[in-house]
Each structure stands twice: as structure tokens, then as C-alpha cells.
Amino acid sequence: MTPQERLAKIETEIGNSQDRLDALHNERVAARSLPARLTEVHPTLLAANLQPKTYRLVAQGDSWFDYPTSWDLIDWLSSHHGHHIDNIGVAGSTLNDIVYGPVPKNWLGIRQSDDTSRSAELIHRIDKKTPDAVLLSGGGNDIAGDEFFSFVNNALSDLANPNQQVLDGVVKETFEKAYCDLIDLINAKALSMNVQLPIFVHGYDYPFPDGRGFSAFNLVGPWFHDTFNKKNYPYDDDDANAAAELQIRRDIVKKFIESFNQMVSGLQTKYNGIVHYVDLRGTLPTRDEWANELHPQKDGFGKLAAKINLALHTVLQ
């Protein structure tokens, strides 16, 4: 199916679900404690000799756009930097959910909707918002959690880690194809609207696979700890060798992050002038900047959001 054919199918779906799609959008706009609005030029903009502007954006993604109990990237970009964002990100989303699936269940297993596709919701928001750009975030949940197990060789096997052949096959083929399908769909919609629609993508920074999950009771996660234990890469915070054990784990996860960033940065080359990659690696080098194995603390999200904000100003001017 071509992007134009897929767009036509999705727009038929939108035509049959207008009320539900509008209701979904209204349900997503909920009150929460948010970072204060910036009243001066952010240092990253000041260093680049750029004046702050506000942009209309549509965002689709995972928990980095929809972190339930703290400020996420979208909170910082909207409340702190002042951008007007229609955000349809849902925590826990995989790329399959974002590109091909229905609006998924959230972290607590509560279904967000059972009658619309994620793509229909995205195209509908683009049509309603006529944004200056689209923000995409996805892929972390596809290699963390249960999926992580198949990528890691047992320490006792003396095989290199991660399993590079498996990793390359998934990241460079399956993940890239999903991103391309979504980008092609957005491009087809932009063409039909006769507008230029830049798309911003990002990779992830290097986390600390130390067994911390979401909430004090690990309500969700940890995402790496169990696999590492089963594959004979132990870690105990109270152990005398804790620092070395954690570094071994982190070096393995870093290879995943590098592979993913290489793939997503390649989209900028493939879609020259349309896709813009934001490199977030190395932004949060200390463990206390991370809330758990996958997510930064709120101030960490703020540092990451500043880089995305700079990219928006640099490209959109």
C-alpha cells in the first residue's frame, strides 16, 4: 500500500470517527503540576544568538512524551518554553502501537480507546492543528522489558554482547521500516495540505540499568534488571563491586542506544530537509539525573527538552 493509499484509508476512518477523535483530544488535556513559564532567553538559545519563539506542534510518542507522575519532554516544551502542542503520546507505546496499532492501553492497562487507530488520531490532529512541525518519539519500549532478553547473550557463553546480528536485524530493518512508514504517511498528508511539515525525531540518552522501576514499588519495570540477572550479569547496590557491575551492564545497554541513534539519525539523511534528528546522548551522565532504568528525573527531562527546543528554533527560525 502506498502512503497515499494508506492516507486515503485513514481519512475515511477519520470521517467515520470525528466525534470520538475530538473526544480523545479533550480527554488528553488534563490539569497537572507543570514547570513554570520561562521569562528570559534560555541559555541554549542565547549561545546560538536566537530569540525565543513559540511554535504549533503535534507530538506522537511514548512515555518520554507522556510520563505519568512527573514533567516529561512535552511538559517542558509547552509550559516552560511556550510551544502550543497537541500531544497524543501514550506511555508504554511501542513502535508497532504508534505506527500500525490502535490507541493502546496505558501503563496501568487502561485502554485509551478501542475504536480508532493511532495513525488516524495523528492525521486528524495534523489536519486540525496545521502545525509548524511534528515531534516523534518511539522505540525505547521495543528493546526494553521482555524484548530485551533475546538481545543479550549469557555472560557464561563468552559471546559478545549484545547479539549484534539480532540487534541489527530489528533496529536497522523493523524499526527503520516503522519510522519510514509513519514519515511517509505524514509527508503524504502534508502534500495533500500543500504545506511544508518538518518532522523532528530523537534517540535516547544512556540510562543506568540498576533495577529501579517506575514508582517506589516498581509498579512498572525495571526493564533491564531481570534479564541481566538471568544472563549472569549481577548487580547489587550494596555489593563491593557494585560500580564495576553496573558499568558492565551500562556498556551493554549503551550499544543498544548507539544502534538506535544511528538508525534514527540516518532518517535525516534519507529524508533530507524534512526529518531533523536531535542527538540527546551525553546530556544526563549521572545516575541521580535518572528516575529509573528508562526515564530521567523531571529536571533531566528539562535538559533534554532544551536541546529539542534549540533544534526547533534552529530549523524553523
Question: What pLDDT, on a 0 to 100 scale, did the predictor assign at position 144?
Answer: 86
Please name which of 317, 314, 313, 311 lies closest in space to residue 136, comparing C-alpha atoms.
311
Give 168-223 pLDDT, tens digit per residue.
Answer: 888 888 999 999 999 999 999 999 999 999 999 999 999 999 999 886 545 677 99
Question: What pLDDT, on a 0 to 100 scale, did the predictor assign at position 163?
Answer: 82
For β-strands 133-136 and 56-60, DSSP reports them as parallel
CA gap 178, 199 in Å, rounded: 15
Alpha-carbon 129 to chain mean position: 21
The set of cell numbers assigned to 311 is: 533544534
Question: What pLDDT, on a 0 to 100 scale, did the predictor assign at position 110?
Answer: 58
Name beta bridge partners: 85. Answer: 57
What pTM, to 2 d.p., does this model score? Answer: 0.93
CA gap 118, 99 in Å, rounded: 7
Q: What residue ranges of the chain have pLDDT lower than 50?
A: 217
Would you say domain 3-18+49-316 falls under CATH 3.30.465.10?
no
Report the b/e string of 137-160 with b at 16+ CB within 10 A. bbbbbbbbbeebeebbbeeeeeee
CA gap 62, 201 in Å, rounded: 12
Question: What pLDDT, on a 0 to 100 scale, did the predictor assign at position 216?
Answer: 53
Question: What pLDDT, on a 0 to 100 scale, did the predictor assign at position 115?
Answer: 65
Contact between residue 142 and residue 98 where contact means Cβ atoms under 8 Å apart: no
Give 96-107 pLDDT, tens digit per residue.
Answer: 889 998 766 555
Question: What pLDDT, on a 0 to 100 scale, did the predictor assign at position 112?
Answer: 59
Question: What pLDDT, on a 0 to 100 scale, did the predictor assign at position 111?
Answer: 61
